[in-house]
């Protein structure tokens, strides 16, 4: 089936190069727009399956065009962004508005830059064509009273976890710094909005640290963590150096790298490392999960696999579930791209299959039971 793509860029050369790349694969029908106003009009008349949208355009910029597209005729949008700090912040805003993925423009001439990203562009546009567009719903800051945990509930759970914690995990973490467990989250295409939805529902006294591997370029994970930190009651930070795990924190793996658990002086740490070429996607969810199993008993791990293409995380999270840990796969009903959670379900590695808006509630139930 031919995929209809609308290529939006103010550079005529970039439009020409992207169009030639897409047409050359034989899978696409392409039309182009040179500005945001043209993009809005062609989204209605051409009815594309996917839009590639440059952020920096004169007159009507990419963010304004994206907002109108999502209002008039929602469609999967892949953003093309520069690697500048300003570009990263604008791209995160685009993801919040409903864009499903990011492609970064490398520095250099257009021809050379496009050569560096051509395979990424083809794969992400194809994946976007299968994506379910989920618009961000406005919500008041803070947590709903029905979903917020009380301190009594959390403290009781922590005491219960202290008593029943598996022996292997207890020997890793000394009593004075003991953690009841850890939550791993793996996520890719469509993930930023889903993560925000889940993390905003967790209270500041949630008793497990959370570690997130989101497939995202390195220029974006720092701003992404900062954005989440302003929206969540938990403290959210990117892991850019050796970091000891603490309750009350959400740790975001740095993009263009991998993240692993290590033990040091009887404590549990997170350590960034260069991309392991044995794994296809980065930060690797599978590598994160396997390293967690090396340092923690499976019964002390809760693993959540969210929207994304491919199968990253399915194998390691299945091992966690087989060892007595608990796992959640996001359901097809809410996943922007059902690839990663579907793989976990097919391997019989999912303890539960839940829509994104029910996952935080389930996490709270497990840590309180």
Does residue 15 fall inside a structural domain? yes
> pLDDT digits over 287-343, tens only?
999 999 999 999 999 999 999 999 999 999 999 999 999 999 999 999 999 999 999
Please name which of 260, 288, 257, 287 lies closest in space to residue 274, comparing C-alpha atoms.
Answer: 257
- Which residues does the chain have with pLDDT short of 50? 109, 138-177
Tell me, yes or no, if the pTM score tops 0.75. Answer: yes
Is 86 in the same domain as 196? no
Length of the chain measured in residues: 369
Is 176 in the same domain as 85? no
Q: Give residue 332's pLDDT.
A: 96
Does residue 138 fall inside a structural domain? no
Identify whether 312 is a catalytic site residue. yes
Is 124 in the same domain as 165? no
Is 226 in the same domain as 305? yes
Is 104 in the same domain as 156? no
Identify whether 286 is a catalytic site residue. no
Does residue 135 fall inside a structural domain? no
* CA–CA gap between residue 48 and residue 31 (Å, rounded): 9
* CA–CA gap between residue 209 and residue 247 (Å, rounded): 5
Angle between helices 85-97 and 191-199 (to 10 degrees): 80
Q: How many domains does the chain have?
A: 2
Among 9, 215, 284, 334, which one carries the catalytic annotation?
215
Residues 218 and 91: beta-carbon distance below 8 Å: no
How far the first Cα of the chain sits from its last, in Å, is: 48
* CA–CA gap between residue 131 and residue 338 (Å, rounded): 8
- The range of the structural domain enclosing residue 61 comes to 3-129
* CA–CA gap between residue 102 and residue 90 (Å, rounded): 11
Is 48 in the same domain as 190? no
Q: Give residue 311's pLDDT.
A: 96
Which of 98, 129, 160 is the last residue in one of the domains? 129
Among 188, 284, 291, 334, which one carries the catalytic annotation?
188
Edge-to-edge strand list for the sheet holding 352-354? 235-239, 249-253, 210-214, 182-187, 301-305, 326-330, 352-354
Identify whether 188 is a catalytic site residue. yes
Q: Give residue 80's pLDDT.
A: 87
Is 310 in the same domain as 168? yes
* CA–CA gap between residue 51 and residue 76 (Å, rounded): 6
Q: Give residue 369's pLDDT.
A: 75
* CA–CA gap between residue 191 and residue 310 (Å, rounded): 13
Q: Give residue 72's pLDDT.
A: 95
Does residue 358 fall inside a structural domain? yes
Among 49, 101, 286, 312, which one carries the catalytic annotation?
312
């Amino acid at each position: 089936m031919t995929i209809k793509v609308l290529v939006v860029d103010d550079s005529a050369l970039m439009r020409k190069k992207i169009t030639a790349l897409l047409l050359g694969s034989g899978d696409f029908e392409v039309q182009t727009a040179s500005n945001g106003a043209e993009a809005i009009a062609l989204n209605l008349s051409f009815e594309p399956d996917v839009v590639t949208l440059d952020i920096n355009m004169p007159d009507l910029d990419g963010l304004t065009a994206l907002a109108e597209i999502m209002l008039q005729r929602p469609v999967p949008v892949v953003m093309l962004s520069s690697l500048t700090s300003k570009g990263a912040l604008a791209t995160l805003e685009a993801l919040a508005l409903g864009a499903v993925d990011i492609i970064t423009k490398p520095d250099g001439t257009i021809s050379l830059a496009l050569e560096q990203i051509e395979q990424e562009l083809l794969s992400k546009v194809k994946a976007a064509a299968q994506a379910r567009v989920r618009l961000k719903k406005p919500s008041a800051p803070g947590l709903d009273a029905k979903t917020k945990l009380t301190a009594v509930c959390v403290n009781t759970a922590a005491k219960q976890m202290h008593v029943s914690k598996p022996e292997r995990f207890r020997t890793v973490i000394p009593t004075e710094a003991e953690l009841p467990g850890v939550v791993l989250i793996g996520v890719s295409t469509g993930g930023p909005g889903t993560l925000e939805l889940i993390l905003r529902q967790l209270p500041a006294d949630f008793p497990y640290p959370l570690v997130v591997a989101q497939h995202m370029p390195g220029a974006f994970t720092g701003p992404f963590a900062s954005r989440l930190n302003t929206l969540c009651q938990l403290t959210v930070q990117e892991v850019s150096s050796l970091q000891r795990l603490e309750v009350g924190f959400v740790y975001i793996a740095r993009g263009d790298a991998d993240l692993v658990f290590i033990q040091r002086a009887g404590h549990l740490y997170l350590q960034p490392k260069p991309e392991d070429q044995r794994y296809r996607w980065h930060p690797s969810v599978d590598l994160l999960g396997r390293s967690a199993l090396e340092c923690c008993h499976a019964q002390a791990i809760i693993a959540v696999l969210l929207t994304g293409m491919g199968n990253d995380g399915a194998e390691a999270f299945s091992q966690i579930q087989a060892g007595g840990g608990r796992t959640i796969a996001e359901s097809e009903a809410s996943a922007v791209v059902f690839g990663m959670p579907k793989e976990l379900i097919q391997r019989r590695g999912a303890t539960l299959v839940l829509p994104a808006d029910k996952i935080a509630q389930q996490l709270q139930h497990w840590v309180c039971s």
